[in-house]
Amino acid sequence: MEDSRTTTGSGRKAVPILPPDLLVSILLKLPAKSLLRCRCVSRSWLSLISQPQFIKNHLNLSIKSPTQNILLTTFDTNDWIYTANLGAFDNVIVAQKLDYILDHKPHDLPQIIGSHNGLVCVIFNMIIQEELYCLFYVSNLSTRVYKQIEYFNLPHCANFHIHGFGYDHSVDDYKVLKGSEYGVYVYSLRTDSWKKVVQDFPIKSIGGDFSYQGIVKDSGTHLNGAIHWLCSITSKRPLTIVAFDLVDEIFRKIPLPDLSSVDFDRRTIKLEVFGGCLCILPMCAREFLVMKEYGVKQSWTKIEIAIPHPGNVYPWACLKNDEVLLKLDHEKFVLYNTGERTYRDLDLCGVPARVILSYKDTYLDTLVSPIMVHETRSQKRQCQASQRGQCQPRQRRQCLASQRRQCVASQSYADECEEVGEH
């Protein structure tokens, strides 16, 4: 059998050369933080791991992975954001404080807007001269690459404010939405610009009465290429699901079921995604509603939480594999499988005692970058030419210098992760 090894100038045998397909298959199975280190091995590995197709294939495997990552926030005076990993078999959840974005915070507390394909959108709000200024960050938590979006102001006296973050599959773009009754605006990562939506938000206040029940969750839920909000004008008016289509950039309404048959407090229910379907999750109940067929009112189905616990059950989050994260009596965490009707206890570590946590979203471990998605065609051609060695010497030096800076940053972060025991 032939030995597929390279030989150095001194005649010694070097590291075996793996077939390209086998190398790609191995690298695709690595987490994003390990791939950051692999990018520093050689120029060929850096080029391979940076290719859009490799990033897309790694994303698809991450979507299928049984590992689940969740985002949590605290309600103490510091208001930190934590990340936690729910392994397929581990009963211990280790929460880690997310501080690299918060180091750049202006004057107010962060709010998680949404997460998709490994990108997480965080907003900081500030009130300056009766106007609401917003600073957005779109970040990949695995690679620590983030995009800061310029301030955007709306009148602070607005009766409601809505936010949203999602993916437009038609043009491979990620969009941030911000709006009120004074107008709705959409930011595109690909074009790096804001624009006003022609259509206004379809729910209006009446006589200035737009109380707590106005927007039950102002950070919309992303599903099927649209952002969804559960809203109503007042506590006496029916609830409505409003969806914003990220492709057509128009609003539409989604039919709700008859809520009289369930014991829900409308002030505390929220929209989530369960098994790829839109669902209504109450704050404290042993059941929730799932829309099995998107947009069809008759498809709303009740899912029961059959767990032998005499106290209060708080559904926290809908996760993969028909699982729901529960909190029992504000103390104990349980991962409940609705299909098998089984559960396992979870221990949360890494969060100071007496800190109240709130679940915000899930996120994926990917290489998707908030910076690369809005490159111009000219920049892409230059980068591709550099990888093939076909660009001008000056352009090639610029591309290689940029790649080296990325490699140094990746190595620095990977070493930091190693120090805290993440590898």
Summarised one tens digit per residue, pLDDT across range 111-169 is: 888 999 999 998 887 766 666 677 888 999 889 898 988 766 666 666 677 889 999 99
Strand order in the sheet with 313-318: 313-318, 323-328, 332-337, 342-349, 92-98, 81-86, 68-74, 357-363
Specify the pLDDT at position 390.
47
Domain chopping of the chain, boundaries:
100-254+365-384
Neighbours of 236 (CB within 10 A): 8
Q: How confident is the model at residue 357 (pLDDT cuts 50, 70, 90)?
A: confident
Q: What is the pLDDT of residue 367?
A: 94
Concatenate the DSSP letters of all residues of 282-298 into one string. Answer: -SS-SEEEEESSTT-GG
Q: What is the pLDDT of residues 181-210, one digit of tens each?
A: 788 899 999 999 999 998 888 876 544 444
Return the SS3 of 181.
coil
**pLDDT for res 405:** 46
* Higher-scoring residue by pLDDT: 423, 227: 227
Q: Which amino acid is at 352?
A: P
Q: Is 76 helix (H, G, I), strand (E, B) or coil?
A: coil
CA distances (Å), origin 158, targets 208, 220, 235, 245: 9, 18, 19, 23
From 119, 178, 170, select the one nearest 372 (Cα to Cα): 119
> Number of helices (H) and strands (E), helices first, in the chain?
6, 26
Closest C-alpha to 165, from 227, 72, 117, 223: 227
Separation of alpha carbons 186 and 166, rounded Å: 11
Round to whole Å and give the CA distance between 202 and 221: 17
In 200-318, alpha helices (H):
none
| pLDDT the model gives residue 49 | 94
Reported as a single tens digit per residue, the pLDDT across 57-102 is 999 999 988 778 888 887 654 557 888 887 656 788 888 887 666 5
Mean pLDDT value of segment 25-30: 94
Q: Kindly tell me if the per-residue pLDDT of 48 is higher than 80.
A: yes
Q: Are 329 and 316 in contact (CB under 8 A)?
A: no
Per DSSP, the three-state class of 272 is: strand
Q: Beta partners for 291?
A: 278, 300
Q: Length of the chain in residues, anyone?
A: 423
Q: Are 82 and 97 in contact (CB under 8 A)?
A: yes
Percent of the chain clearing pLDDT 90 (strictly above): 27
